[in-house]
Amino acid sequence: MLDDFLIRAVLAGLGLALAAGMLGCFVVWRRMAYFGDSTAHAAILGVALSLAFDLSIYAGTIATALAVALLVSMLTSRGHAMDTVLGVIAHSALAFGLVAISFVPSARVDLASYLFGDILAVGRSDLLWIWGGSFLILGLLCWRWQNLVTASVNEELAMAAGIDPRLERLVMSVALALLVAIAIRIVGSLLISAMLIIPAATARRFAATPERMAAIACIIAALSVLAGLWASLRLDTPAGPSIVASAAAFFMFAQVFRSH
C-alpha cells in the first residue's frame, strides 16, 4: 500500500498540473514566459515576508505576486520596455527575498524547499490550498475563456469585439499569482515557469484548437508529475526537478515524434 506522504504528493502534483496546464497555454500564446518567471522569482520575497510576520506562506506569495504584476503594469505604461522591467523586478525581488529570508532563523534550513520545492512534505492543509487554488484558477479561466483567447490572438481584434485587453491581462496576472502561490511548495520558485511553459509547448505540437491544446497540456503536466515522482523514488533524486525533467523529456519526445 502506498504511503500517505506519497498519496499527498500525487494529489498535490495533479492539482498543480490541472491549473498549470491550462494557464500555461495562455502564457505561451501571449508570450508571457518571462512574466511568469518574474512572478515566480518574486515569490521568494513573499515567503520571507510571510515567515518574518508569521503569516500564511500562500497569502504572502499571492500578495507579492499581485504587487509585482501591478508594478510591471505601472512601469510599462510609463514607457519602460517590458523585458527590461521584468528583468529588473525578477532579479531584484529574488535578491531581496534571499537576503530577507536569511534574517529568519526558521527559514535557513528550508530555503532549498522554497527554491526547488518539496512536494513530498506536502500536508493535508496544503492540499486544501492547492486544490482550492487550482479550482479557482480553472474557474477564472473558464469564465473568461473566449475573451482571453481572443485577446491572446489579436488585441486589436479583441478591442473591435468590445473586449478590453487590459482587463484580460489583469485576469492573467491574478491567475499567475494564484498559480505561483500553490506551486511554490511543489516545484519551488525557480521551476514554476517550467511547469507553465513546457507542457503547453509540448501540447502545441498535437493540438488544432485552443481547447484541445489546454486539455493535452493538462494531461502532459499530470503525466510529468507521475513520472517525476516515480523517478524521484526509484533514483533518489529531488522530486521537484525530477518532475520538470520528466516534462522536458515529454517535450523532446514530442519533437522527435512529430518530425517523423
How many angstroms separate the Cα of 56 from the Cα of each of 48, 61, 63, 181, 241?
11, 9, 11, 10, 25
Looking at residue 244, its pLDDT comes to 94
Question: Residues for the chain: how many in total?
Answer: 260
What's the pLDDT score for residue 260?
54
Q: Residue 1 to residues 4, 5, 7, 124, 226: CA-CA distances in angstroms?
A: 9, 12, 10, 19, 17
Residue-level pLDDT at 173? 83
**CATH code, domain with 183:** 1.10.3470.10
Q: Is residue 76 within 8 Å of 150, Cβ to Cβ? A: no
Distant-in-sequence contacts of 202-210, Cβ < 8 A, 24+ apart: 202/247, 202/250, 202/251, 202/254, 203/21, 203/25, 204/28, 205/254, 205/255, 205/258, 206/254, 206/258, 210/25, 210/29, 210/149
Burial of 116 (0-12, 13-18, 19+ CB in 10 A): middle
Mean pLDDT by 10 residues, the chain (260 residues): 78 94 92 81 84 82 84 74 80 84 68 81 89 94 92 84 84 87 86 92 90 95 96 92 95 79
For residue 44, what pLDDT is reported? 84
Total count of domains within the chain: 1
Buried/exposed 71-108: b ≥16 CB within 10 Å, e otherwise: bbeebeeeeeeeeebbeebbeebbeebbebbeebeebe
Q: Residue by residue, what is the 3-state secondary structure of 52-102?
A: HCCCCHHHHHHHHHHHHHHHHHHHHHCCCCHHHHHHHHHHHHHHHHHHHHC
Looking at residue 159, what is its pLDDT? 87
The pLDDT of residue 252 is 93
CA distances (Å), 27 to each of 21, 50, 127, 221, 244, in order? 10, 27, 25, 15, 17
Evaluate whether 152 touches 160 at the Cβ level (below 8 Å): no
**Residues spanned by the domain of 80:** 4-258
Q: What is the pLDDT of residue 1?
A: 41
Whole-number pLDDT of residue 259? 57
Distance CA 16, CA 13 (A): 5
